[in-house]
Copies of this chain bind each other. A is one copy, B any other.
Amino acid sequence: MKEIFGSASGSPGSTPPAALAAKVRTLAPSMTRSMQRVAETVAADPAGCAALTVTGLAELTGTSEATVVRTARVLGYPGYRDLRLALAGLAAQQQSGRAPALTTDIAVDDPIADVVAKLAYDEQQTLADTAAGLDTVQLGAAVTALAGARRVDVYGVGASGLVAQDLTQKLLRIGLIAHAHSDPHLAVTNAVQLKAGDVAIAITHSGSTGDVIEPLRVAFEHGATTVAITGRPDGAVTQYADHILTTSTARESELRPAAMSSRTSQLLVVDCLFIGVAQRTYEQAAPALSASYEALAHRHRR
């Protein structure tokens, strides 16, 4: 019966897996030559050794299994198995340590793995920035307006048009009457119908997209509550907006157009609006959500 470990799960009782190199140095003098060879090999490449069995490590160091096990004992582990686990831990730590070298731009010759990492990192950054910069008072006001709205119109063209549609889809699912407009003419035509109690939302990264500002102005002048989701809180769109929700912008580059990060940012804002409204209208939203889920179930194959 081998393998005795304390019952406690995450107990930090055992040796902190760091300082392995130091331990090797300290204990080396008290080891025999073969054991030193093993210890040094292990200290030099924890990751590599973690992948080896006793036999493998014995061969690699030109020794025997017994020696490897003895070395593990000297290093303070019950046996090789546990040394190996510690090694794996060490390797993982080392690897995660040297992570944040991702500040560079995406280059034309970046390997695909780097592209993934950099993009993910950038978008995470965008999300953090957006969350930090979002004015919760304005957001709350916008949510209140939406929760009591008779009708909601959302304007957005280009990439922002998709965000507008996303918001619309979500609001519809919780029983609100919402429309997305990406055709500027139709948008204006519809905006004329709005009145007090209705909500109009304009989504534009630049804050100066005429096709989106125009319908918002009309809605504003007809007494609707207007919301602007924009990356430029000083843009032209804000002059017709009762509530301004600011999105954040990541540096753009040649390969990474601004539309990409602004979309991420806009979607977060839109999600916040949605959840906010769902909270306020919970009684009605919850059943509506599950109802729409049910309705789609049969569209899924086995």
Q: How far is the CA of A271 from the CA of B201 in the complex (A)?
A: 26
Q: How far is the CA of A294 from the CA of B85 in the complex (A)?
A: 42
Best-buried of A84, A139, A300 by chain B (most CB within 10 Å): A300
7 pairs from A and B in contact (CB 8 Å cutoff): A5-B99, A9-B51, A108-B279, A108-B282, A109-B279, A119-B268, A158-B169
Classify the interface of chain A: helix, strand, loop or mixed.
helix
Q: How far is the CA of A95 from the CA of B15 in the complex (A)?
A: 13
Q: How far is the CB of A59 from chain B (nearest CB, A)?
A: 13
Query: Which residues in B have their C-beta under 8 angstroms from that of A84?
Result: 85
Q: How far is the CA of A3 from the CA of B86 in the complex (A)?
A: 19
- The yes or no answer to A102 lying at the interface (CB within 8 A) is yes
B10, B116, B158, B289: the one within 8 Å of A272 (CB): B116
Query: Which residues in B have their C-beta under 8 angstroms from that of A140?
Result: 112
Query: Which residues in B have their C-beta under 8 angstroms from that of A85?
Result: 50, 84-85, 88
Let me know if B136 and A10 touch, CB within 8 A. Answer: no
Which of A68-76, A206-214, A218-226 is near enough to bind chain B? Answer: A206-214
B116, B130, B159, B282: the one within 8 Å of A169 (CB): B159
Q: How far is the CA of A296 from the CA of B166 in the complex (A)?
A: 23
Name the residue of chain B whose CB is nearest to the CB of A237.
B301
Let me know if B112 and A131 touch, CB within 8 A. Answer: no
Chain A stretch 98-145: residues in CB contact (< 8 A) with chain B? 98-102, 106, 108-110, 112-113, 115-117, 119-121, 123-124, 127-128, 130-131, 134, 136, 139-140, 143
Best-buried of A108, A120, A208, A256 by chain B (most CB within 10 Å): A120
Number of interface residues of A (CB under 8 A): 96
Q: How far is the CA of A16 from the CA of B212 in the complex (A)?
A: 45
Name the residue of chain B whose CB is nearest to the CB of A204.
B300
B17, B88, B106, B275: the one within 8 Å of A119 (CB): B275
Best-buried of A136, A255, A272, A276 by chain B (most CB within 10 Å): A255
The 5 closest A-B pairs by CB, nearest first: A89-B92, A9-B48, A120-B131, A10-B48, A85-B88
- The yes or no answer to A11 lying at the interface (CB within 8 A) is yes
- The yes or no answer to A93 lying at the interface (CB within 8 A) is yes
